């Protein structure tokens, strides 16, 4: 009667050995995880970021000494890095919606090292990545609205806010990558601009020149280019340049001149090393483009030149 139980007993012994083996494996894994936790716990999130940024800066300095001409890459875990158009300060804004914290660094070096910064807490959260700093104020889109906000850093207060009449918001007319990028503020040699679209313009990009003091729309242009088909855009000398994608293989595909209210299609390759651009801004003081590219900040030098016709006119 007991003979049929022998296989059951053998199976029980095998199961017991397997359980003991699994316990040993779990014990080893727990030790490994504890070691990793202790190692990672030695640095907080911001310190890890600062160490990475410092290494990137040192790498760039070495490459410059070797004579390599490459874009400056700054690793970033947020989505916005704004350089002042009238100075050397740097503003860092983490995330593309509902954020309120802005870190102000005295220089790019301080930003890389993560030192000497002042924190500003905005009274209203932002939407998108199309913010810009101009003459000591931050211009941004108030979350879940088409309201433009001017926040003054020195007084730590909102000086003015104004609705952009009819402008889409909350991912109604974003760039192709989304991210609440309905309204994009820009600064070039001629002042402050807003790029957005409305139902009245059938989703085509509208360029508006803004009064930086009052945010009043001074003049608007309908470019005829569908905003949802645009990867990103930027203004240089009153000309809006639009990329046809935010992904790899992007080109500067369209240019709209506000001085003549005319446009042309272009075919300028735009090197997209990390394959996902979600911020693209021009700094007229330094004549560079700042991009946030899939977790990396990349700076592109811009060369401006004039075309002289046969009559000798610019």
Domain ranges of the chain: 4-40, 65-304
Residue 208: both structure tokens together: 């508006």
Give me the mean pLDDT over the 92-118 stretch.
87
Residue 34 CA from chain centroid, whole number: 35
pLDDT, average across residues 27-41: 73
Domain 65-304: give its CATH code. Answer: 2.120.10
| pLDDT surpasses 70 at 306 | no
Q: Would the pTM count as exceeding 0.85?
A: no
Q: What sign results for the dihedral spanned by CA atoms 67, 292, 49, 100?
A: positive
Residue 312 pLDDT > 60: no
Q: Looking at the predicted structure, is the pLDDT value of residue 45 above 60? A: no
Q: Which of 79-83, 232-236, 292-296 has the lowest mean pLDDT?
A: 79-83
Query: Ramachandran region of residue 147, left (φ > 0), alpha (ψ -120 to 50) or beta?
Result: beta
- 283-293: pLDDT as tens digits: 888 888 888 88
Ramachandran angles phi, psi of 260, nearest 5°: -115, 0
CA distance 83 to 291: 11
What is the tens place of the pLDDT at every residue in 205-252? Answer: 999 999 999 999 999 999 999 999 999 999 999 999 999 999 888 999
Compute φ and ψ for 150, nearest 5 degrees: -110, 110
Residue 111: pLDDT band with limits 50, 70, 90: confident
Question: Across the chain, what does the average pLDDT equal?
Answer: 82
């Amino acid at each position: 009667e007991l003979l049929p139980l022998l296989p059951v007993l053998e199976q029980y012994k095998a199961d017991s050995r397997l359980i003991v083996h699994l316990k040993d494996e779990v014990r080893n894994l727990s030790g490994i995880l504890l070691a990793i936790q202790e190692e990672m716990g030695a640095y907080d999130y911001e310190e890890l970021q600062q160490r990475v940024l410092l290494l990137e800066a040192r790498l760039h300095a070495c490459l410059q000494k070797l004579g390599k001409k490459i874009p400056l890459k700054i690793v970033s875990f947020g989505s916005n890095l704004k350089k002042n158009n009238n100075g050397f300060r740097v503003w860092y804004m983490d995330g593309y919606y509902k954020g309120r914290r802005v870190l102000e660094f005295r220089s790019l070096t301080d930003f890389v090292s993560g030192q000497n910064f002042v924190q500003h807490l905005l009274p209203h959260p932002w939407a998108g990545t199309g913010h810009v700093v101009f003459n000591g104020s931050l211009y941004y889109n108030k979350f879940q609205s088409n309201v433009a906000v001017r926040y003054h850093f020195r007084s730590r207060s909102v000086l003015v806010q104004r609705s952009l009449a009819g402008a889409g918001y909350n991912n109604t007319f974003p760039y192709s990558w989304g991210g609440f990028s309905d309204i994009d503020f820009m600064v070039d040699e001629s002042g402050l601009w807003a790029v957005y679209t409305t139902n009245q313009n059938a989703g085509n990009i509208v360029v508006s020149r803004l009064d930086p003091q009052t945010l009043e729309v001074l003049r608007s242009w309908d470019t005829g280019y569908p905003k949802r088909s645009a990867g990103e855009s930027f203004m240089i000398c009153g000309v809006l340049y639009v990329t046809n994608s935010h992904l790899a293989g992007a080109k500067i595909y369209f240019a709209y001149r506000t001085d003549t209210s005319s446009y042309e299609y272009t075919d300028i390759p735009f090197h997209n090393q990390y394959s996902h651009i979600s911020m693209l801004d021009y700094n007229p003081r330094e004549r560079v483009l700042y991009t946030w590219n899939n977790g990396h900040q990349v700076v592109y030098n811009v060369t401006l030149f004039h075309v002289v016709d046969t009559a000798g006119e610019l």
